[in-house]
Structure 1
């Protein structure tokens, strides 16, 4: 994704503020939708008579489609105009939200969630490009990106609380309908105030790369979700895993030879970036699994309302928001390693405590676990971004950021798939099966800390610098 732009007109400071506010509106609706639906899952299950695998698809239809289309939407916006693609994204997102609220069946809801995600994939990466094109001064751009990060983190964190309020007061369909007026407002503001901009040189399309990304992420997620129902040794599930493995092999082979690949394999030569990418997947697996399991536990096992569930999860949201700000300071003053390691340990501690949950676990115990987990996840964000981009040449920063975002969305989809499958495959009831899932998520926290130690050490930094110099040399030779 290139940040060079051809703006249609210069903007005043007030105009730039309005552009930033418009982009932040899109961050709010897209960020909320990654977490708000979790609180509504038990209500959706009862209303639409959905099995557990159906609930997994309600969440993963959104995150999976976004993961598949993030990099593609950024390149389309650079080529055809960022404002134009941004408005299309807002329109599709709003239409998908409206249809989700009207869905008569589980299949229709999953399909409309996928449509919603097609629009959602055009929001965050394109809005970031608009911000970068609008704020040309480095200090102003840094402040704008900081506001972006703060709002993105806060919107995802308050999703369960807002979802609880809406579901308890207006029903589960309201969590989708609330996006429609907000989306309409954002479309108007974009048309009125956001200037059109394009990359100086649009990136070529890579249809084969896009097809292979879909052929990898779709089958592997489907296999994990449907494994308990069909059986892990069934020909259907084995075929899905084989297709996913073949897609990965094809992606590596084709993208490494493509002049302008959708997925630039070169960025993975940096141990720092590769480590950050894997941590992105693992950390988001932990978050999505945490929200999915807790929603079912609090409402189906404990019998709490959606509002009570949202309020119980609020300490997690508050700790997440507070530690996200602390994380930035730690990363600046003491590098990424301390924040990363502490984050992994806190994630493991929070999920580890949930191994002790049962039918009568005290609220104080749950809140303590939620606080620890929220603090851990809040510490991950800033060092994750800094580590992913460290050692990268400037011309690859956009590519690296897009791949890192795709890894986060992929982790979110896989976390729900794995956690839900563990619970669905258990025969001893939700509590006993969830303990296995919590053990898995505790391992994710420990893996985060260990990978942080490997990807932020002296050897990793040296290799990242070498990779950056090699990539810059290749880019210079290609322009001659």
Structure 2
């Protein structure tokens, strides 16, 4: 160990929380900036969808590669690379002069985010050996994202008002420098697996599959589902998806070992993550436009309006980290999803009143339920894989969540694409009803697919520091 390296699990946790913070911060702040971007760089609703989905597209499609890279090169090294790429791309976004250049830098931001997320969980796995300590760390890691989602709309509104929309991206640079220093100074050198294959054919086909899928979903709001370009993209997605599965079954070291899907708990957690993010990000996108275009809220007012849904994420993520060790995965995830479904079910009539106060309780319920669910399924995923597959398993879960977000933004964006107020409100109402039904489905998956007892597959002896 280098003399200058002082391993500190708590400071490693802080570095990973900051990383997850900036990754999710750039989701929530962009939603608050939709109206400012529309006016500032003449972005229409399809452009706005791409500004959200370009980031999510690369994020989702490269997560599996990032997880494999983390296993091959070491989680610490890849995590720091992701921090650097994300920070530089944020500067590019801040100085972008057109919609096209901003979307381009958002793509690169997605690359940095993809490198950071699975390796951050691998780093936590490396420094927190005891399951109870690891569960608490995952809870705090999730809370870092919760803080970002909670603070993002408010900070975004303040920064847009005071400094303009560009400041939303520039703020990531100093945070990135702090995270890089903490990781370099306090994270242990990660083990490497130099013989781990990157499976580039599988990676390329997976990226093309997701790109065609995202193109079809996003452009359909402008071109319509019967457009030849959309139909061609759907066909390409199906064929490329089939090709990806063929490659994974005929490659000695696939990027996504299909044997992972033999575990029912991992499959269930992955599907729950997809459905939960589909609902959450889709509704946040739709409600952002509702507050700013129908209710005519200012950026600061729109940011504050999201506080009931977002602020609860922080507290409930921390609570979830403590409850995971006391309540079984199945019970906690099922309860969280049902609570969130109730919130979305009540939100539709609340928003129809145009009286903001009626929407506070539904937003609290919706945010609390999701915040209980995500750390639980993350813990459930890490609990059933061996240590040499932790990176790819966490990447799979987070890739599914990002794909869900892409679907939610695209589909719900399509449903509210009519600028007429009555049509917009009808589309929003349908989106909220669909959200409640999808979360009810996810709760059924949690109850039947997650194990009723805590899995102890890889629990290691406690170190003195963690006892």
Same fold (TM over 0.5): yes
Cα displacement (A) at 1:9: 6.4
**Hey, what does 1:431 align to over in structure 2?**
425
Q: Please say if residues 150 and 311 of structure 2, whose CA atoms lie closer than 8 Å, have aligned partners that are also in contact.
A: yes
Structure with greater contact order relative to length (CA < 8 Å, sep ≥ 6): 2
**Hey, what does 2:16 align to over in structure 1?**
23
Q: Please say if residues 118 and 394 of structure 2, whose CA atoms lie closer than 8 Å, have aligned partners that are also in contact.
A: no
Superposition pairs of residues 114-133 of structure 1, within 5 angstroms: 114-133=107-126
**Hey, what does 1:364 align to over in structure 2?**
357
Q: Deviations over 1:456-475 (max 9, x none)?
A: 367xx9xx99xx9xxxxxxx
User: Is 1:250 equivalent to 2:247 in the alignment?
Assistant: no
Superposition pairs of residues 219-368 of structure 1, within 5 angstroms: 219-356=212-349, 361-368=354-361
User: Is 1:172 equivalent to 2:165 in the alignment?
Assistant: yes
User: Is 1:445 equivalent to 2:424 in the alignment?
Assistant: no
Go from structure 1 to structure 2 and tell me whether the alpha carbon gap of 1:31 and 1:134 turns closer, same or farther (over 3 Å shift).
Answer: same
Between 153-162 and 206-215, the greater mean CA deviation after superposition: 153-162
Cα displacement (A) at 1:342: 2.3
Between 277-286 and 150-159, the greater mean CA deviation after superposition: 150-159
Equivalent pairs counted in the alignment come to 457
**Hey, what does 1:58 align to over in structure 2?**
51
Between 405-414 and 84-93, the greater mean CA deviation after superposition: 84-93
**Hey, what does 1:478 align to over in structure 2?**
none
Cα displacement (A) at 1:386: 3.5
**Hey, what does 1:79 align to over in structure 2?**
72
Cα displacement (A) at 1:207: 0.6
Tell me how large the CA RMSD over aligned residues is.
2.9
Cα displacement (A) at 1:111: 0.8
Cα displacement (A) at 1:32: 1.4
Q: Deviations over 1:387-442 (max 9, x none)?
A: 33454445444332221111111111211111101112687532122222222222
Q: Deviations over 1:5-33 (max 9, x none)?
A: xx6569545x5544443333322212312
Distance in 1 between the 2:300 and 2:381 partners? 37
Q: Please say if residues 121 and 391 of structure 2, whose CA atoms lie closer than 8 Å, have aligned partners that are also in contact.
A: no
2:32 to 35, 39, 54: 39
User: Is 1:187 equivalent to 2:180 in the alignment?
Assistant: yes
Matched residue SS, 1:333: coil
Distance in 2 between the 1:164 and 1:157 partners? 12
Distance in 1 between the 2:100 and 2:245 partners? 34
Cα displacement (A) at 1:193: 5.0
Q: Please say if residues 77 and 198 of structure 1, whose CA atoms lie closer than 8 Å, have aligned partners that are also in contact.
A: no
**Hey, what does 2:465 align to over in structure 1?**
none
Cα displacement (A) at 1:34: 2.5
Between 29-38 and 285-294, the greater mean CA deviation after superposition: 29-38
Q: Please say if residues 256 and 266 of structure 1, whose CA atoms lie closer than 8 Å, have aligned partners that are also in contact.
A: no
Q: Please say if residues 9 and 195 of structure 1, whose CA atoms lie closer than 8 Å, have aligned partners that are also in contact.
A: no
User: Is 1:456 equivalent to 2:445 in the alignment?
Assistant: no
Q: Which runs of 5+ in 2 are unaligned?
A: 458-467
2:196 to 191, 200, 203: 203
Q: Please say if residues 90 and 172 of structure 2, whose CA atoms lie closer than 8 Å, have aligned partners that are also in contact.
A: yes
Distance in 2 between the 1:24 and 1:104 partners? 31
**Hey, what does 2:461 align to over in structure 1?**
none
Q: Please say if residues 221 and 413 of structure 2, whose CA atoms lie closer than 8 Å, have aligned partners that are also in contact.
A: no
Go from structure 1 to structure 2 and tell me whether the alpha carbon gap of 1:425 and 1:388 turns closer, same or farther (over 3 Å shift).
Answer: farther
Go from structure 1 to structure 2 and tell me whether the alpha carbon gap of 1:434 and 1:268 turns closer, same or farther (over 3 Å shift).
Answer: same
Matched residue SS, 1:361: coil
Go from structure 1 to structure 2 and tell me whether the alpha carbon gap of 1:105 and 1:429 turns closer, same or farther (over 3 Å shift).
Answer: farther
